[in-house]
Amino acid sequence: MQLKGLVRFFTILLIIYSIYQLSFTWFVRNHEKKLEARANSFMKVNHPDAKDEERDRLFNERLNRLKDSTKDETITYGITGAISYQKAKAEELNLGLDLQGGINVTLEVEMTGLLKTLANNSKDPNFLKALENANVRKANSDANFIRLFADEYQKLVGSNKMSGLFAAANKDQIKVGDNDAKVIGVLEAQAKTAFDNTFRVMRTRIDQFGVAQPSINPDPEKGIISVELPGVQDKERVRKYLQSSANLQFWEVYNFIELYPSIEKADGIFFAMMGGKTATADT
């Protein structure tokens, strides 16, 4: 009987503790809903015509400002007395997709465009065919895309022929005649850099949703990024944000050593003109 009483006591104690911990989540959610309503009212009054991306940015800026300004505001009371929003936020439970719903997205970082750029947009039929075959295999494989491409290209043209394809656009790292192992190493390093850059962009975009506890898990080897957005329901908005492409443009520029002779010549002509002399153009 004493054992049953002890079990009952600890069970009741555990239930009380669980309710106490859950209460932080409830009070935090209630407080944040009020802040979201205030932020929405602010947007309607001050930015009624803002476009989607601009509106989201301004809304999150306003919401974060409200959260920061109310971090010391009392939202509930506990055993030790008044509990501020900041303290309750630190104690709230991390509710995942199973408890509050949301969206689970798996993003694959596309490497075809990267290889085309590194190959100087080659129109070589074997190169294009190898890319096509690698993409087909990638659909049913978790293998590294660079390795799949290299395997397909070697099937078409033989071993140690990849350097001729990538040397022109990567002359500082690849020389004509380099073996395939070296070329593959360079391509994999470039692919990792591209993946890391994509991951940073995705994290920045996900932060714009204002989700309190997003889960972002990169897998560089497979080239995928798994994202969980608890509480987010607008699938079209998520798709638009995460699938939009960044427009990167590259321009060829001169370095200072190449420009210096022309600058020096122009400088001499300027001083000659200021001194009343007629500058003689070089022929």
The answer to the question of residue 70 being in a domain is yes
Read off the pLDDT band of 282 (50, 70, 90). Answer: low
Lowest pLDDT segment from 22-36, 67-81, 84-98: 84-98
Q: How far is residue 240's CA from residue 105's CA, in Å, rounded to a whole number?
A: 13
Q: Is the domain of 259 the same as that of 233?
A: no
Q: Is residue 99 in a domain?
A: no
- Comparing 25-29, 42-46, 79-83, 233-237, which segment has the lowest mean pLDDT? 233-237
Is 275 within a domain? yes
- Give the pLDDT score at 250: 47
Q: Across residues 190-202, what is the average pLDDT?
A: 89
Pair (118, 236) in one structural domain: yes
Same domain, 140 and 215: yes
Does residue 202 share a domain with residue 229?
Answer: yes
Is the domain of 18 the same as that of 75?
A: yes
**Average pLDDT for residues 29-35, to the nearest whole number?**
88
Averaged pLDDT for residues 57-77: 86
Range of 268's domain? 251-283
Please report the pLDDT score of residue 252 as a whole number: 57
pLDDT band of 228, cuts 50, 70, 90: confident
Mean pLDDT of the 249-276 span: 72
pLDDT of residue 126: 94
222 and 116 within one domain: yes
pTM of the model: 0.55
Amino acid at 61: E
Q: Are 92 and 119 in contact (CB under 8 A)?
A: no
Helix, strand, coil percentages in the chain from 3-state DSSP, rounded to 5: 60, 10, 30
Determine, yes or no, domain membership for 41: yes
Q: List, in order, residues 6 or more apart from 106 with CB less than 8 Å away.
A: 224, 225, 226, 227
Q: Range with the lowest mean pLDDT among 27-36, 39-48, 101-110, 128-137? A: 101-110
In a domain, residue 166? The reply is yes
Percent of the chain with pLDDT over 90: 23
Question: How far, in Å, CA of 174 to CA of 186, rounded?
Answer: 8
Same structural domain, 234 and 257? no
pLDDT higher than threshold 90 for residue 134: yes
Least Cα distance to 166 among 124, 217, 200, 223 occurs for 124
Residue 108's closest CA among 218, 239, 246? 218
- Select the more confidently predicted residue: 231 or 248: 231
Distance CA 86, CA 237 (A): 29
Q: Across the chain, what does the average pLDDT equal?
A: 81
Mean pLDDT of all residues in 53-66 = 84
CA dihedral 92, 96, 97, 100 (to 10 degrees): -10
Give the total number of structural domains in the chain: 3
Residues 6+ apart with CB under 8 A from 75: 27, 28, 30, 31, 83, 84, 85, 88
Q: Is residue 198 part of a domain?
A: yes
